[in-house]
Structure 1
Amino acid sequence: MNTVDNYKIIEKIANGEYGDIYKVQNEEEEIRSLITPLMSALKNNELFQNVVYKHFWGSDTIRQGEQLRGERSRIPLALKVLERETPLPEDFSDNFQQYFAKAVDFNHDNIIDVHHTGSIDGKIYYVMEYVNGVSIGREISTCGAYFEPTACRIVYQTSQALSYLHERNVVHCEVSSKSIILSNNNKPKLHTKLHRAACRDRWGIKDEANNSPLIKDIRDLAVVFYEMLTGEIAEGEINIDDVEASDGAKEVLQKMLSSYTDCQEICHDLQEKDLLSVKF
């Protein structure tokens, strides 16, 4: 398989229970990008620019074309083809479209963007932002514990992302060291795991009368915090005494496990205890 619809496959970057993930390039955008040097050379010919922009960029004016050129840069994307050994639920397709329609509107610096969905050979695929980095879990397995301020900043930024979702009545329900990708510039990016949400037909929609799904996100992030501080993947019940960290970090971790009910409480206490003083 060299292409999926308009997406040219560059390489396979991961595989998992729900299918493979590929690094891809949108061929239509690549064609558009090829005319950039030509447009620069002919920038003084307004008639020619308008004709070419209208044809290649879907724009009737030079100004609109310039805006589109900035938006359609030749950055790689990630494409996941959904398949697995055991059959997907019968209502999976409808569920997925429902969750995708909601996720495509998310706009947060610490959440992986989703862009497009389609099907090929009867299999659903979706296209998302490509993050050049590794999961927190993989980095822990290869490099061990994180420097405490770095771990605190990852928790802070991920809490902001979760708070963004919670404000939109969505609870993640799959927060783990595998679902947080750390980019090469050390920015955590939360994967919304659309395919898993659609498979269980529940995205943890927040219930005003029962916020337990929301609290689960906080407890799950606490496990990630523990893993970053100890350099070990958690198995079973967490023992705070196993953590070698400052009193402030251990107190925040304890509250994440037991008493916090809102992600903004985490952010407040990390700032209040001056645990974010060392930047990435």
Structure 2
Amino acid sequence: MSDRIGNCRIVGEIGSGGMAVVYKAVQEPLGRTVAIKALKPSIAMDSQFAKRFEREAHFMASLQHENILHVVDFVKDGRSMYIIMEYVEGIDLYDLLEHSPQLPPEVASIIALQVCRALDYAHFRGIIHRDIKPANIMISKQGEVKLMDFGIARDETLSDLTETGTGLGTPSYMSPEQILGDKLDFRSDLFSVGIVLYQMVTGNKPFVEDEARTVMQKIRLDRYVSPRKLNPSVPRQLERILGRCMEKMPANRYPTTQALIDDLMEFLSPRVPMNYSARLVMYLRDVGLMTDNEADELLAAGAPRNVRRGTKDKRLVSHATWMSLLLFAGVVGGGGVIQAAAGRLGADREDFGAQAGKPVVPERAGYLRVVVDPWSDVYIDGQKVVTTPTAQAIALTPGLHYLKFSNPYYQELQREVRIRTGETELVDVTLEPLHVLEGEGEGDGEGEE
């Protein structure tokens, strides 16, 4: 392998697949990092694989969307072909699921939503992906979701590169009509999205081969296990979205990709009242795929402009610091008054030292992180401190603190937490709705234990 391809200098190999190798490279005139997908030397230039490879380059070059991997250039030198693409620093969904097999429902839904936005853009242009699976979905460290690998995509206005009766794709993620080799439309991709979403929230594929049936037979003939049986925390609203995506008959699925996007947006709106990319960054940090410093730097960039620019004025920083200390002292002092009214200040000093109204001393401080599904106002010792979701680590004095989680549409929840010097406590809670939707409390067969 040459150390140069076109105007790009090869840095190293990223990965290898059945017919291509992917390299990391630097496009020297611009000094930017790119990824190069190179057709393997063993693939003949006049083969169907080579034609499919070149068609992928044309497809991806024609699709300019934030959720689709961008093609920078295409090089054909007589010996091989090379697709030069943007380089995404992050992890693909396949590897993420290997690391964390079950994702929080709102994180899984954000990923599915971004994939659907990419598909809606492609579907409007008559292009069907036909190979939606975790390995073809990239999640960047900036919280971006990118759909990759249009190698077997089909343009409805062009001839297909497969013969009638053959089904290209990955069996576990195929639609029933794709398995049968029927003519496909955008609804085949929606079935595959449903399978990926199911896998993200349950940690299992909905259709798995066994001694009785192959995976393709199960997709065509069998009903999948209810996701709530595998993970009771999956909301029923999301279960219904999954069910409609994975209807056996295309006519029973969503009528448009936009309709699926609308349902995912409706599901996410009350649960993630923040930038969706920021929520993905927070998740990557929480599972150890990003450092706190990497995540905090990105999340801080989304703060209000006056906060970001405040560091340029040293006096403003000084004033803000003193105001923060005074405000926090007021919060702690107010908490102390509430505790006194409740008769708690007569308790053991070690237990209730945190409520004595003293400012937090950095050398003795402990920290609290809160994760709430879907979201809430967080009260600490009677004072509202933050609204979730938040990446903030809250500094507290050592001792026992009283937490209250309040959301007008959910039942109020209270917790106690003991803070220790130099340690970070994580409190992760799920709120219960005030009113259960009609019929949800009754047994519905498959979805109930």
TM-score, structure 1 normalization: 0.73
One of 229, 232, 238 as aligned partner of 2:204: 232
Offset at 1:14? 1.0
Distance 1:19 1:97, change over 3 A: closer
- Aligned counterpart, 1:257: 246
1:54-133 equivalences under 5 Å are 74=32, 76-83=33-40, 85=42, 87=44, 90=47, 93=50, 96-120=53-77, 122-133=79-90
Matches within 5 A, 1:208-227: 212-227=184-199
| Structure 1 residue 248 corresponds to structure 2 residue 237 | yes
Structure 2 CA distance for aligned equivalents of residues 144 and 95 of structure 1: 32
Please list every run of 5 or more consecutive structure 1 residues that lacks an aligned counterpart in the other structure. Answer: 31-73, 205-209
Identical pairs, percent = 22
User: Does the 8 Å CA contact 2:24/2:36 hold for their aligned counterparts?
Assistant: yes
Q: Does 1:15 align with 2:16?
A: yes
Amino acid of the residue matched to residue 8 of structure 1?
A: R
Could you tell me which of 164, 186, 202 is aligned with 2:143? 186
Instruction: Report the Cα distance in structure 1 between the residues aligned to 2:270 and 2:230, rounded to whole angstroms.
Output: 18
Give the conservation status (yes or no) of the 8 Å contact 1:78–1:128. Answer: yes
The structure number with the bigger radius of gyration is 2
In the alignment of these two chains, the number of paired residues is 229
Q: Measure the CA separation in 1 of the matches of 2:131 and 2:80.
A: 23
Cα shift at 1:115: 1.5
Q: Deviation at 1:129?
A: 1.1
TM-score, scaled relative to structure 2 = 0.47
Cα distance, 1:137 vs structure 2: 1.2
The CA deviation at 1:102 is 3.9
| Counterpart residue type for residue 270 of structure 1 | L
Separation (CA, whole Å) in 2 of partners of 1:272 and 1:95? 38
Which residue number in structure 1 is paired with residue 260 of structure 2? Answer: 266
After superposition, the Cα gap between the structure-2 partners of 1:176 and 1:95, relative to the gap in structure 1 and judged at 3 Å, is: closer
Q: 1:89 to 1:232 in 2, by over 3 A?
A: farther
User: Any conservation in 2 of the 1:151–1:225 contact (CA below 8 Å)?
Assistant: yes
Report if the CA contact (8 A) 1:107-1:113 is conserved: yes
- Aligned mates of 2:146, 2:185 — CA distance in 1: 21
Q: Distance in 1 between matches of 2:96 and 2:194?
A: 17
Q: CA RMSD in A?
A: 2.7
Q: Which has the higher helix share?
A: 1
Unaligned runs of 5+ in 2: 155-159, 163-167, 170-181, 209-214, 219-223, 248-252, 280-449
Specify whether residues 20 and 246 from structure 1 end up closer, same or farther in structure 2 by C-alpha distance, changes over 3 A only: same
Amino acid at match of 1:240: S
Does residue 201 of structure 1 match 2:161? yes
Instruction: Write 1 or 2 for the structure with the bigger share of strand.
Output: 2
1:133 corresponds to which letter in structure 2? G
Equivalent in the alignment of 1:171: 128
1:211 to partner: Cα distance: 7.4
Query: 1:143 matched to which residue of 2?
Result: 100
Distance 1:243 1:161, change over 3 A: farther
Cα distance in 2 for partners of 1:124, 1:16 equals: 15
Deviates more, 1:115-124 or 1:177-186: 115-124
Q: Cα–Cα, structure 1 residues 145 and 225, in superposed 2: closer, same or farther, change >3 Å?
A: same
Kindly indicate whether the alpha-carbon contact (under 8 Å) linking 1:141 and 1:231 is maintained by their aligned counterparts in 2: no
